[in-house]
Amino acid sequence: MLYKNDTIAAIATGASNAGIGIIRISGEHALEVADRCFRAKNPNKKIITTPGYHAVYGNVTDGDVVMDEAVCLVMRAPNSYTTEDVVEVQCHGGTIQLRQILKVILKNGARVAEPGEFTKRAYLGGRIDITQAESVMDMICAQNELAARSSAAQLQGALSDKIREIRSFVLENVAYIESALDDPENYSLDGFSEELYQQVEATSSEVLKLLGTAEEGKMIREGIRTVILGKPNAGKSSFLNQLLGEERAIVTEIAGTTRDTLEEEVMVQGIPLKIIDTAGIHETVDIVEKLGVEKAKKSLEDADLVVYIVDGSRVLDQDDAYIMKLLQDRKVIILINKIDVEQVVDKSWITANIIAPMIEISAKTGEGLQEFKEELTKMFFHGKLSFNDQVYITNLRHREALSEADLSLKRVLDSIRAGMPEDFLTIDLMAAYEQLGTILGEQPEDDLANEIFSKFCMGK
Ligand code: GDP
């Protein structure tokens, strides 16, 4: 069964030692469970008689043993995160300590929550829809400020509103056709096909517009995957160090599937760049001699951007020709480096081979770095990042549903062109309606809901 309203508990705060840690208890008996292992300083106070959004100070106890000092925050159904009765036990945040307190709570009648179960209950309780539930996870897992802002907008319902608007448009047309078929005296289908054609075309372009944001959505979520390429000594590490400089945001070590790779993440004018496999980049420099085509191609495969660094104080050679060949059809920024020393490079040779913006820099003095940043902003997100009214598709499931819906709408257009009868058109219109509905989680199959919530971490 999807929904069990038994009482659940989990540590809601991070898995490292901190000043404060929170254990969340939710469910029909949350207040009783808390009372069994909590003694208020004021002996007249009980959790069960505490009104919602009030806190009680006291001790968490295991029988007669005092486990920790704590504040219990009481929220009553339906005015809580899960829409159920909730108690948040705020105590000291040592991980061992928190686990022991959780054990006591479990001993007193709660069961440990499954990953994502609190948010699942919020969804099943009707407080949030599935896109909002997904945005909670995105927000928790956001790796940069932009991604967090994007998911916050989604949590406010920006995407759901847009999808609802498109769906109601589709449904209105289906309803009209059905009415006309039932009641031809009052509803006419004369000339309706032409009108419908235009409307479906408009709807399809709305869907495509949303789909068009998916690419940017992915970059917001994951950062722009950037590879820095160039011959040995061109100045790749010097450039990276300049870029990281004071802006060094996070250095993440992500365990790759086959080996450990290091990824540097840096925010450039508010745009998250994920510089891929910096360790590997050092090796890929000597493309022709050492590693051959495959490795270089591999690192370029998933790149959103390639920064090609050329040493301006040296003449170009066959290796450069080779790199340029690899860069065909890629998004590239060419940096002519070392402009603080005498220049011998033949830039026209480069421009004859790749079409890409070229900027002169000195990785040593930092000259030209600002121009590089400006170019980057021009290249991505149409030169500006704004969340005022823009909805970004950041989720693969949403992207697939939108693609399916668009295919259905295209089929409606094909059918109208082929002169198919109106009742036939409703089949694909309804299909589009339902596909869009899966984004909102309308009557989602148990499998879908379970899959989404299982990606959450414990305590969420
Ligand atoms: P990589 O092999 O491409 O990573 O190149 P490095 O960043 O290690 O730089 C190679 C050499 O070039 C080092 O001695 C750097 O100090 C020097 N270098 C890098 N950028 C500049 C620059 O803009 N101007 C000058 N004069 N030297 C530079």
Q: What is the pLDDT along the chain (460 residues), one digit of tens a residue?
A: 345 679 999 999 877 778 899 999 999 999 999 999 999 999 999 999 999 999 999 999 999 999 999 999 999 999 999 999 999 999 998 888 898 999 999 999 999 988 788 988 998 888 888 888 887 777 776 666 667 777 777 777 778 888 989 998 888 888 888 888 888 888 788 888 899 999 999 999 999 988 887 777 777 777 788 888 888 788 888 888 888 774 443 333 333 322 333 467 777 776 778 886 443 333 444 444 454 456 556 777 778 899 999 999 999 988 888 888 888 888 899 999 999 999 999 999 999 999 999 999 999 899 999 999 888 888 876 654 444 456 778 777 888 899 999 999 999 999 999 999 888 999 999 999 999 988 887 764 555 556 556 665 556 6
Matching residue, tokens 């106890």:
61
* Ligand 1 closest atom vs CA 232: 2
Placement of tokens 């956001």 in the chain: 142
d(CA 173, CA 406): 16
Query: What is the distance in A from the centroid of ligand 1 to the CA of 364?
Result: 7
The dihedral sign for the CA sequence 446, 452, 457, 459? negative
Q: Which atom of ligand 1 is nearest to the CA of 341?
A: 26
Pick from 231, 233, 342 the residue to mutate for probing ligand 1's pocket: most ligand atoms within 8 Å of its CB.
233
Q: Is residue 231 lining ligand 1, measured as CB closer than 6 Å? A: no
Find where tokens 């370029």 sit: 300
CB 89 within 8 A of CB 72: yes
Ligand 1 neighbourhood includes 234 CB (under 6 angstroms): yes
CATH no., domain 8-128 = 3.30.1360.120
Q: What is the dihedral of CA 334, 340, 342, 343, to 10 degrees?
A: 10
Query: Measured in angstroms, how far is the CA atom of residue 256 from the centroid of ligand 1?
Result: 29
Query: How many angstroms is it from 302 CA to the middle of ligand 1?
Result: 27
Closest atom of ligand 1 to 309 CA is 3
- Give me the helices (H) in 183-291, please: 192-212, 214-222, 236-244, 278-284
Q: Which CATH class, in words, describes the domain spanning 136-213+393-441? A: mainly alpha
Asked if 155 and 135 touch (Cβ cutoff 8 Å), the reply is: yes
- What residue segments make up the domains of the chain, in order of their start? 8-128, 136-213+393-441, 221-383
Model pTM score: 0.57
In words, the CATH class of domain 221-383 is alpha beta
The three-state secondary structure class of 401 is helix
Q: Tell me the Ramachandran region of residue 262: left when phi exceeds 0, alpha when psi lies from -120 to 50, beta otherwise.
A: beta
Nearest CA to ligand 1 atom 17: 235
**Which of 242, 284, 244, 243 lies closest to 261 in space, CA to CA?**
284
Q: Check pocket membership of 279 for ligand 1, CB cut-off 6 A.
A: no
